Structures are given as C-alpha cells and as structure tokens.
Structure 1
Amino acid sequence: MKFTNKTDIFFDLDHTLWDFERNSALTFEKIFNSHHIQVSLTEFLKHYVPVNMKYWALYREDKIDQATLRYKRLKEVFDLVPFQVSDADIHLISEEYIKYLPTFNHLFDGAIEALDYLKPKYNLHIITNGFQEVQNGKLKNAKIEHYFTTVTNSEMAGVKKPNPKIFEFALQLAKAKKSNSLMVGDSLEADMEGAKNIGLDALFFNETKTEEPHSFPQIYHLSELKNIL
C-alpha cells in the first residue's frame, strides 16, 4: 500500500495523535485526589470509556449539546459505579476535567517521529470534533502545533464529522485539492466514512486492533506512515 500524488495530510487529533484515554485517566486521577473522591479509578474508567463514546456519538449526530454531553457522561458513570455525587459536584468535576485535560500531553508512540518525517514532504492539518478551547490547548501543550498549517474544529465549521461540510471547510481552509489529500483517523464512522463520502482518500489508524469489518487501508502504529507516504 502506497499513497502517491498527495500534498496534504489531514489528521484527527484524539485517539490518533493524542493519546486520549491515557490523558483522560490522568485527569480523573488528579481530580479524584484533589477532591478526595473515594472511587476506584479503574472501576470508574471501565464505565466511563464506553459511556463517553456513547454520548460523543449523540453529540456528533446533533442529538445533544455540549452541556448535556459534559454533564450526562459523568452523571451516568457515577450512577453505575455507584457513588453518590451532587449535581453541583458533577458540574465542578466537568469544569475541572475540561481545564486539566489539555495539561496531560501523552502522544501515541511514534507520533513525533511520524510528524518529523511528514512535515518536510507534506502540508499537515487537523480536523477534529473536539471543543476549540480544549483542542488548541492540547496542540500547544503537547508542543505539536507547529507541525500543522491549519486546524479545523467542529465549532469553526458549524458541523461535526462525518458531515461532509466539515471536510469541505477544512479543504478550503487548507487550499488543498481533494484528489491530493488524505485523511488519517481512528473512527470508522467519523473519519473514514466521512472522508469517503466526499471522495477523500482515508487511512484507518487501528491502534486498538479492532476487528470490525471495513474496507479501508489501515495501520496499527504511526511509524507505518513512513512506509506508505
């Protein structure tokens, strides 16, 4: 597998370059310790990971807003653990989570090496559904913002992946041609199908080694980008 005639590479951020689950766990650990929340972090995260994915899917489909996402994902998990916590405390934890999340900056293994390899050869960009304030903090604190010519988020575009409009917005912002561009991401629905639906080539970063059937070319480690670009 080799992509040719590419000039612009678009990356998703969370779960693709930025190790969301690791950084998220460290954020909750900090919050639980500072507020003396007597909950097993392992038990909490066992529920939080799928619950968070569920509410992000609803958010992506415009079935809930930001505030609902931030509140309900925590409310549901504390109910499942179970641990009694007031609505006021849930809102406080939610605010602190958003505040502290960008301060943890673990990237996936091979991310910097891949970006160093790609930067001289391609224009690099970000397309993310994440909140602008949080995503900008992640890029800055992880010291990778200088790699990217443009950063498109769903708040700027007014829609979320897989909506074709966010990809069109990103291409226009980057002044990139669809035929010369590639989308790299971890979500089969948001990144892969979203890109495919506008005729944009897509590469699946299958770091979790999911066995879900799909027809997209894939890599399991970011170092593999050197072999195909």
Structure 2
Amino acid sequence: MFRGVVSDIFFDLDHTLWDFEKNSELTFQKILSKNQVSVVLNDFMSVYRPINLEYWKMYRENRISKPDLRYQRLKRSFDALHFPISDDTILVLADEYIEHLSSFQHLIPNAVEVLEYLSPNYRLHIITNGFQEIQEKKMRNSNIHHFFEHVIDSESVGVKKPHPRIFKFALEKAQVPAHRSLMIGDNMEADVLGARYLGFHTVHFNAHADGDPNLCKTIDDLLEIKSIL
C-alpha cells in the first residue's frame, strides 16, 4: 500500500511499541508494595486505566498541568475504590511511578520483528507526548532506541499531539515532506487525525478497539505492517 511512496515512518511510543499497560502495572505492583499500600492491584488497575486515559486527554488539550496529571489520576483512582490514603503518600507514589516506570522493558508483541523488518529500507522516528525525562529511558532499556533517527517529544517542542506544530517540527527535523511520511499510532485523535492534517499517510494501531477502518488503514497486530510496507 505504501511501498515506493513512503521514505520515513514516524511511530508513537506508548501503547504502540512500548507496552504501557503491562509496564505500568508492574510499576504499581512494585511501588504499592514498597510503600505498604495494601490496595488490591487488579482492583486498582481496573479503575486507574480509564482515569489515566481521561487525564492524558486533558493534558493533551492543555486543560491540566503535568503535576496535576500525576497527582489527580492517583487521587481519583483511590477515591473510586474508597481506599483511605494520605496526600503525602500519593505524592510519593506519583514520584516513584515516574522513577521506576522506564525500568520495565515489555514491548507490544512483534514490535522488534517489525522494526527489524523496516529499518533497512525506511528511516524510523518517534513522535511522543510522553514525559521527556523517561521516554528515552524506556527506549534504551527496552533496546529499541537504536532503530530511530529522531525522537521528538512534546515537552521539547512545546505542544502536544495532535497540534500541527509537533508534526511540522518532526518533518523539519527529519527533512522529509509529509507526502513521503507515514505516522503509526494507537490514538485516533492525537496520532491519526493530527498527522493527516499535515498531509502524512497514517496507520491506526487499534490498541483500544476504537479504530475506524473507513477513516484510515487500521491494524490489530503490528505484524500487519509487513503487508503494507
């Protein structure tokens, strides 16, 4: 589908290549135990996941600050479980979550195989809304950093996907036109619509079962990339 058309591929990181859900759960398992917070992990994760997605959307839309995101997603989760916990402990957990998250290395199934397949023939890059201080650590610790020529993060650019400026910055950094570029990501709003506005080709990795095959090419497994590139 994109062979002979695309020269550069821009990936999102979390939920697309790096297994955020699995690594996040392992991080909470570690820090809740360390701080003797006796909440049931499965119960906590079941309420935390949707709350976290909600707060990331607010963060993308500049309706909440980074410190508020880190605190409120935990506060809301414990409140939803009616679990008594002090603000001081929540702040400790918020800091330790960021400290330990990048130490876990699980990737989305088939991520390495696909990157190895693509890297001889395409220039690969990352565009991420994740926090600058941990995104490169995630990539290095999971041994995928070497696949990518440029890593563009929202904090460095000053805007978050889907803002056009971050995609324009990525194109300028890679010195490639949009019509030769492909964006692959899990978030329809941030990755697909944001990139399409600038003229990128797009593929939606349907990690959250919210894909729209009528809007763009949608895949459920990263291995499907091998059939289109």
What is the TM-score of this pair, normalised by structure 1? 0.97
| Partner AA of 1:119 in structure 2 | S
The DSSP-based 3-state class of the residue aligned with 2:204 is strand
| Partner AA of 1:165 in structure 2 | R
Please name the residue that 2:218 is paired with: 218
Query: Unmatched 5+ residue regions in structure 2?
Result: none
| Partner AA of 1:96 in structure 2 | E
The DSSP-based 3-state class of the residue aligned with 2:108 is coil
Q: Deviations over 1:52-88 (max 9, x none)?
A: 0111001000111100100000011011112111111
Alpha-carbon distance in 2 for matches of 1:147, 1:52? 29
Counterparts of 1:1-229 in structure 2, within 5 Å, are: 1-210=1-210, 214-229=214-229
Alpha-carbon distance in 1 for matches of 2:178, 2:47? 39
| Partner AA of 1:28 in structure 2 | F
The DSSP-based 3-state class of the residue aligned with 1:103 is coil
What is the TM-score of this pair, normalised by structure 2? 0.97
| Partner AA of 2:55 in structure 1 | Y
| Partner AA of 2:18 in structure 1 | W
Q: Deviations over 1:112-168 (max 9, x none)?
A: 000000000000000000001110110110111000000000011110000000000
Per-residue deviation, 1:198 = 1.2
Alpha-carbon distance in 2 for matches of 1:118, 1:187? 21
Per-residue deviation, 1:215 = 1.0
CA RMSD of superposed structures (Å): 1.2
Alpha-carbon distance in 1 for matches of 2:163, 2:36? 41
Paired residues of 1:2 and 1:227 also in contact (CA < 8 A): no
Alpha-carbon distance in 2 for matches of 1:61, 1:200? 21
Query: Unmatched 5+ residue regions in structure 1?
Result: none
Q: Identity, % of aligned pairs?
A: 48
The DSSP-based 3-state class of the residue aligned with 1:162 is coil
Per-residue deviation, 1:207 = 3.1
